Amino acid sequence: MSGFDLSGLKASFGGERVLGPLSLRVREGEKVALVGKSGAGKSTLIRLIHEQVGRNSSLVPQDLGLVNALPVFHNVFMGQLDKHSTWYNTLTLIRPFAADRAAVKDLLNDLGLAEKLWIPAASLSGGQRQRVAIARAIYRNESLLLADEPVSALDGPRAHQVMSLLRDRFATSVIALHDVELALQYCNRIVGIQDGLVELDEPSDRLSSSDIMSLY
C-alpha cells in the first residue's frame, strides 16, 4: 500500500507555528500537488510526512542531498543503500556490479544524463543535479514519491518530461510545486497550503489556475 492517513501534523520554529495542526489522507493512486506561496509550509509538510512513512517512500528533498565527491552512479545507487548488505555496498563503491551499472545507466538515459554516469556530482549544473536526485528516488523503487519542488531548475520541455516520468513511475505521489500549470496537468488532486493550514483540497479536474492563484 502506498497511501497514508496522518493527523496532528504540526511544526514550530523559534516558538512560531509554521504548520498545522492538520490532517492529510492520501489514497493509493492519488497524485497530490501541494501548492501555495513560498513559506506557506509545503516543505515542512513534505518533511513531516517523510518522518512518518520513512523507508516506505522515495524522497526528493529541496536541497537534493547529493554527495558532491561521488560520481552520479553512486549518488543514484544510494537510493537502495538500505536494501543491500554492508559488504555489497562497500564493493559497489569500489567496483559496481554490471547489473547495477546497467540499471542506473538506463534510468539516467531516460533523464538525458547517461553520459554523466561517472562524473562527480560537484561538477553538474543545477538542473542536472535535480535530475540525479530524481533518478535516485526512482531507483529506490518505492510506490510512494515525496518530492519538494523537483523540477524548479528545469526548463519547460524538460520539466514536462520529468513530471511525466514521475507520474508513470510512482503509483502515489505528494509533490510540492510552484508551477500551477504543471500541478493541474500531472496531478489529480490539488492541496493548497496557506499560513501552514489546508485552504484548498479538490480534484484537479474541478479547478482552473485562477482558482489556485488566490493562494499566492
**pLDDT exceeding 70 applies to what percent of the chain?**
100
Taking a C-beta distance cutoff of 8 angstroms, is the pair 152, 123 a contact?
no
Residue 73 pLDDT class (50, 70, 90 cuts): very high
Does pTM top 0.85 for this prediction?
Answer: yes
Residue 216's pLDDT is 87
CATH 3.40.50.300 positions along the chain are 1-57+146-216
Read off the pLDDT of residues 104-140 as tens digits, 9 standing for 90 and up: 999 999 999 999 999 999 999 999 999 999 999 999 9
CA distance 25 to 88: 37
Find out whether 178 and 38 touch, Cβ atoms under 8 Å: yes
Strands 172-176 and 197-203, sheet pairing: unpaired
- Record the cell numbers describing residue 21, joined without a space: 495542526
Instruction: State pLDDT tens for residues 146-162.
Output: 999 999 999 999 999 99
| H helix runs in the chain, sequence order | 42-53, 72-77, 86-94, 98-110, 126-140, 156-169, 180-186, 209-213
pLDDT score, position 1: 73
Q: Which of 179, 203, 200 is nearest to 189 (CA)?
A: 203
CATH class as words, domain 1-57+146-216: alpha beta
